[in-house]
C-alpha cells in the first residue's frame, strides 16, 4: 500500500498530526493561502460576472512546488486546512494545483487535534464543497471591490495610505457615533437618599434606600428637594413593613464561541482580540507536553456554535461527579441554543480532554497560553454544572409617607460558581447588596443617619474591545473570526486610539467616517452590512447564486462611487483662514489637514514652511498650541527641549527643529529597578497607541511595565517607587511588591 499525502495550513499543525498518523502518511503544510487576488490591481473582471483573477501569492511558488513533489507518486491526497470557509478556499486552490494524473482528492475536517479525532477525520473524508468556496470567494470579492474602489478616492481627497473596508468602515462608524453621543450628552442632576439603620438587638447596621413617597416613585432633582425630604423625615419612626425572601438562581454561562472567548479574554486577561486568536490557534494546533507527546489542547477556535459532543458531555459529567459530587450535576446535560445560521457542524470551544487540567500542563505552556487554556477549561466545566442558588431578602421599611428598601442576598449553593465566574464589562451602577439582620414585620428600627447623595446621569461608555466585539456580533456585522483583524486595522490606520483600554476616534477617524457615511450610505449602513453577512450564509447554504449577490451589491455601489468622485469633499485642498499671524514671515496662518489631523500652516507656503499645532479655547476659538518647555537639553546640540505630540504620542524635541532633529522620550523621574542598570523609566507608546514605560537604556535593558510609575517610595515597605493602577472603579496608587498591600486613592 502506497503512502497518502495530508496537507494542512501550518507547520505546527503538520508536526502534531504527523505523529498521530504514522509512516503511511506524509504531512505537509501550505502555510495558509497559496492563491489570492493580486496586490497591485483590482483582480476582478466586473464585466465577466465578477470572475476573480487569482494569482500565486508572493513566496508561495516554492511551497506549491514542494507540494507537487510530495504528491508525485501518491494517489490519495487529504486536504485538511481549517474547517471553515477560508479553509475550504485553501483546499480548493491546492486541489487546482495538484488535481491531475488520476489522483483521488478528499477534504477532511479536523475539529480537534487529538489522535482519535484525526484518525476519524481521515477515515470519514468528504468531497470539496463548491458552495463553501463560493461563499468565501464572494466575501473576498466584496471586500476587494470596496477596498480598491474607495481607498484611492480617500488618497485623492484626504491623504495617501488611508483605507476603507466593507466591515472595517462600519466598525469605525460605530466608534465615531458613540463618541458623538458622548460629546452631545447633557448630564442631568439627580439625588438619592439612603438611611443608615440598625435594630437594637440584631446587628449588623445596614442601609436602605428611599424609593417612594406617598406611594409614588421618587425623583429628586436637586439638593433643595433632597433637603426638604430629609427635613420631612425628622422625628419619624422607621418600622419594618414587610420582609420577603425568595430563592434566586444564577445560571451558568454557555461554553465559549469565538466572540465570547474574545470578550472574556479582554475582560479577564486584558488580551486583545488578535492576541486571543493567536494563542487559541497555538492551543488548537498542538503543544509539546513532554511524556504526553504533542497534543492539541482545545477544539477549533473559529466557531459560532454552542454544540458539544456526547463524549465531551460524558467526560464533564464524570469529572464533576468525582470532584464536586452529585449535588453539582444537573438532571440532564445543559444544552445551549446557537444563534440562527450558526455552523452546527462545529462544536463550541472546549478542552479536547478534561484529563489535562490547566495545572497539570502549566509547565509546558507560556503564561499567556496557560491563562487562556485555564479560562476555556473552567468555562467548559462550569457550563455543565447546576445553577448557583441565592436567598434574596427584600425589606420594606416605612417612615410615615416614606418607603425605604433594603436588599441583601446570601449564597446557599455555589453551583457552577465553584469553578467559574463570568467577567463584566462595566460594574458601575450596580447596587451592592449587604448582609441584612433577621428582621420581622412591625419591628422598629433606630435611625443612625440620613445620607443625601448627588448623582449625574452618565453618557454611554466608550467601547472596549470586549463591548465592541459584543456590539458587532449583536448587530450581525462581520464574522467573529474577522474581528481581530478589523480592530487591528482601524488602529493601524490611525482612525482610532486605544487609550486606557477604550477606543477613542481620532480627528482623522471622525473625518473618514463622515466622508464615507455622506458618500456611501449603503456601505456604511449597519443593517445593510448585516444583511450582506446573511447573503454570504445563503450562498454557503446554496439558497442564492454568488454572482447574483455581487450584481445586486455592485449596481448601487457603482452609482455612489461615480457621485463620490465628483462630490466628495476635497479635504486635502481645503484651507480655512484664521486671524493668527505667522511669527516667521507675517502672513496669515490657515488651518489645513496633515498626516496627523488639523494643523496651522502659513498661507505663504511653500515660500514659508512655518507650521504649528493648533488648539481651541473654551469658546472654540482657534489658538496656537504652544509646546511646553522642559528642563532638558538636546543630546545633539545642547539647546532646550520642548514637549511635542507625534505619531506615538508625546515626546521631547529640540527647540531648534528643523535645524536640529534631536529627540528624547518623556522621563518619569523613576530609576530603572533592574539590578545593575542606571537608566530611567520613560514613557513610550506601542504601534497601536497603548502607553507603556520602559528603560531608556533599551535595548541593553529590556525592563518594561504597563502601569505608570510614580516617583515616590512606598511608605509601607520602602519600595523605590509606586505605580498607578486603573480599574473599573477608578485609579489607585499601589505598591508593586507582591508581599505589600499598600494602596491609596489617586487624584
DSSP state string for 371-404: HHHHHHHHHHHHHTSPPEEEEEEEEEEEETTEEE
Distance CA(525)–CA(530), nearest Å, equals 9
Return the C-alpha cell found at 739.
508581599
The residue from 133, 284, 300, 328 that is catalytic is: 300
Let me know if 311 is exposed, middle or buried by CB neighbors in 10 A (0-12, 13-18, 19+). Answer: exposed
CA distance 475 to 259: 13
**Of how many residues is the chain composed?**
747
Task: Concatenate the DSSP letters of all residues of 643-675 into one string.
Answer: EEEETTEEEEEETTTTT---EEPEEEEEE--ST
The C-alpha atoms of residue 379 and residue 599 are separated, in whole angstroms, by 50
| Cα–Cα distance for residue pair 538/531, rounded to 1 Å | 10
- Cell numbers linked to 128: 470539496
Which bin fits 237, alpha (ψ -120 to 50), beta or left (φ > 0)?
A: beta
Q: How many CB atoms lie within 10 A of CB 707?
A: 14
Burial of 291 (0-12, 13-18, 19+ CB in 10 A): exposed
Chain-centroid distance, C-alpha 263: 6
Residue 43's CB: how many other CB atoms inside 10 A?
Answer: 18
Cβ pair 83, 110 in contact under 8 A: yes
- Cβ contacts of 627 within 8 Å, gap of 6 or more: 613, 642, 643, 644, 653, 655
Q: Is residue 606 reached through a cis peptide bond, with omega within 30 degrees of 0 on the bond before it? A: yes
d(C-alpha 139, C-alpha 89), whole Å = 11
Q: Which residues of 320-357 are buried (b: 16+ CB within 10 A; e: fewer)?
A: beeebeeebbeeeebeeebeeebbeebbbbbbbbbebb
What SS3 class is residue 575?
coil
Distances (CA, A) of 707 to 676, 692, 710: 22, 7, 9
Residue 300 falls in the annotated catalytic set: yes
Q: Which residues contact 26 (CB under 8 A, 6 or more apart)?
A: 3, 4, 5, 6, 70, 74
Q: Which helix (H) or strand (E) holds 547?
A: helix 546-567
Are residues 456 and 187 in contact, defined by beta-carbon separation less than 8 angstroms? yes
- Which residue shows C-alpha cell 466628495? 568
Cell numbers representing residue 527 in the block: 443593517
C-alpha–C-alpha distance, residues 45 and 13, integer Å: 36
Cell of 256: 465559549
Q: At what angle do helices 130-157 and 546-567 cross, to 10 degrees?
A: 0
Compute CA distances 287 → 15, 282, 297, 346, 464, whole Å: 10, 7, 7, 22, 31
Contact predicate 377/275, CB 8 Å:
no
d(CA 154, CA 10): 36
DSSP of 166-210 = TTHHHHHHHHHHHHHHHHH----EEEEEEEEEEETTEEEEEEEEE
Q: How many CA atoms lie within 13 A of 456 on its CB side?
A: 7
The residues assigned a catalytic role are 300
Amino acid at each position: 500500500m502506497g503512502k497518502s499525502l495530508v496537507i494542512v495550513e501550518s507547520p505546527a499543525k503538520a508536526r502534531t498530526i504527523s505523529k498521530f498518523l504514522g509512516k503511511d502518511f506524509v504531512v505537509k503544510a501550505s502555510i495558509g493561502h497559496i492563491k489570492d487576488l493580486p496586490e497591485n490591481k483590482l483582480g476582478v473582471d466586473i464585466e465577466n460576472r465578477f470572475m476573480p483573477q487569482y494569482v500565486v501569492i508572493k513566496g508561495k511558488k516554492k511551497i506549491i512546488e514542494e507540494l507537487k513533489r510530495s504528491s508525485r507518486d501518491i494517489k490519495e491526497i487529504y486536504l485538511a486546512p481549517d474547517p471553515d470557509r477560508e479553509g475550504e478556499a485553501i483546499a480548493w486552490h491546492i486541489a487546482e494545483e495538484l488535481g491531475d494524473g488520476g489522483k483521488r482528492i478528499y477534504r477532511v475536517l479536523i475539529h480537534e487535534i487529538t489522535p482519535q479525532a484525526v484518525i476519524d477525520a481521515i477515515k470519514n473524508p468528504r468531497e470539496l464543497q463548491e458552495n463553501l468556496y463560493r461563499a468565501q470567494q464572494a466575501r473576498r470579492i466584496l471586500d476587494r471591490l470596496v477596498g480598491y474602489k474607495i481607498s484611492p478616492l480617500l488618497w485623492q481627497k484626504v491623504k495617501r495610505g488611508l483605507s476603507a473596508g466593507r466591515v472595517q468602515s462600519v466598525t469605525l462608524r460605530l466608534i465615531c457615533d458613540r463618541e458623538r453621543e458622548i460629546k452631545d450628552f447633557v448630564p442631568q442632576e439627580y439625588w438619592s437618599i439612603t438611611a443608615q439603620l440598625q435594630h437594637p438587638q440584631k446587628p449588623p447596621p445596614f442601609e436602605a434606600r428611599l424609593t417612594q413617597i406617598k406611594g409614588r416613585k421618587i425623583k429628586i432633582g436637586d439638593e433643595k428637594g433632597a433637603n426638604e425630604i430629609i427635613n420631612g423625615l425628622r422625628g419619624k419612626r422607621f418600622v419594618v413593613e414587610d420582609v420577603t425572601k425568595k430563592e434566586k438562581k444564577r445560571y451558568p454561562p454557555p461554553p465559549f464561541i469565538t466572540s465570547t472567548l474574545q470578550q472574556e479574554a479582554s475582560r479577564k486577561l486584558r488580551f486583545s482580540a488578535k492576541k486571543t486568536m493567536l494563542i487559541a490557534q497555538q492551543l488548537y494546533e498542538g503543544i509539546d507536553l513532554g511524556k504526553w507527546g504533542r497534543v492539541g489542547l482545545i477544539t477549533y477556535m473559529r466557531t459560532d456554535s454552542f454544540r458539544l459532543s456526547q463524549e465531551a458531555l460524558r467526560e464533564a459529567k464524570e469529572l464533576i461527579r468525582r470532584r464536586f459530587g452529585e449535588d453539582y450535576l444537573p438532571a440532564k446535560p445543559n444544552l445551549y441554543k446557537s444563534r440562527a445560521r450558526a455552523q452546527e457542524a462545529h462544536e463550541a470551544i472546549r478542552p479536547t480532554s478534561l484529563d489535562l487540567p490547566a495545572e497539570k500542563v502549566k509547565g509546558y505552556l507560556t503564561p499567556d497560553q496557560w491563562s487562556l487554556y485555564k479560562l476555556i477549561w473552567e468555562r467548559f466545566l462550569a457550563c455543565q454544572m447546576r445553577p448557583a442558588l441565592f436567598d434574596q431578602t427584600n425589606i420594606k421599611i416605612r417612615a410615615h409617607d416614606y418607603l425605604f428598601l433594603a436588599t441583601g442576598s446570601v449564597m446557599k449553593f455555589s453551583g457552577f460558581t465553584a469553578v467559574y465566574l463570568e467577567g463584566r464589562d462595566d460594574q458601575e451602577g450596580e447596587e451592592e447588596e449587604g448582609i441584612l439582620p433577621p428582621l420581622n414585620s412591625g419591628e422598629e428600627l433606630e435611625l443612625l443617619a440620613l445620607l443625601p447623595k448627588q448623582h449625574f446621569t452618565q453618557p454611554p461608555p466608550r467601547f472596549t474591545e470586549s463591548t465592541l466585539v459584543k456590539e458587532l456580533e449583536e448587530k450581525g456585522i462581520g464574522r467573529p473570526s474577522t474581528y481581530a483583524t478589523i480592530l487591528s486595522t482601524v488602529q493601524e490606520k490611525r482612525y482610532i486610539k486605544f487609550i486606557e483600554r477604550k477606543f477613542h476616534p481620532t480627528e482623522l477617524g471622525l473625518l473618514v467616517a463622515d466622508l464615507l457615511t455622506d458618500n456611501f450610505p449603503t456601505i456604511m449602513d449597519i443593517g445593510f452590512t448585516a444583511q450582506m453577512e446573511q447573503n454570504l450564509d445563503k450562498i454557503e447554504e446554496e439558497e442564492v447564486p454568488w454572482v447574483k449577490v455581487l450584481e445586486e451589491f455592485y449596481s448601487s455601489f457603482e452609482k455612489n462611487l461615480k457621485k463620490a468622485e465628483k462630490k466628495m469633499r476635497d479635504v486635502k485642498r481645503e484651507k480655512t483662514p484664521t486671524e493668527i499671524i505667522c511669527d516667521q514671515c507675517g502672513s496669515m496662518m490657515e488651518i489645513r489637514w496633515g498626516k496627523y489631523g488639523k494643523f496651522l500652516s502659513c498661507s505663504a507656503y511653500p515660500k514659508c514652511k512655518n507650521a504649528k499645532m493648533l488648539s481651541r479655547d473654551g469658546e472654540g476659538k482657534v489658538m496656537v498650541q504652544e509646546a511646553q518647555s522642559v528642563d532638558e537639553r538636546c543630546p545633539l546640540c545642547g539647546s532646550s527641549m520642548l514637549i511635542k505630540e507625534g505619531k506615538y504620542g508625546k515626546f521631547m524635541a529640540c527647540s531648534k527643529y528643523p535645524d536640529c532633529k534631536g529627540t528624547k522620550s518623556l522621563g518619569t523621574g523613576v530609576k530603572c529597578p533592574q539590578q545593575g542598570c542606571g537608566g530611567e523609566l520613560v514613557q513610550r507608546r506601542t504601534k497601536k497607541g497603548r502607553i507603556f514605560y520602559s528603560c531608556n537604556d533599551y535595548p541593553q535593558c529590556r525592563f518594561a511595565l504597563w502601569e505608570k510609575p510614580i516617583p515616590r517610595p512606598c511608605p509601607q515597605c520602602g519600595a523605590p517607587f509606586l505605580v498607578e493602577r486603573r480599574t473599573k472603579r477608578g485609579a489607585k496608587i499601589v505598591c508593586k511588591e507582591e508581599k505589600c498591600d499598600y494602596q491609596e486613592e489617586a487624584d
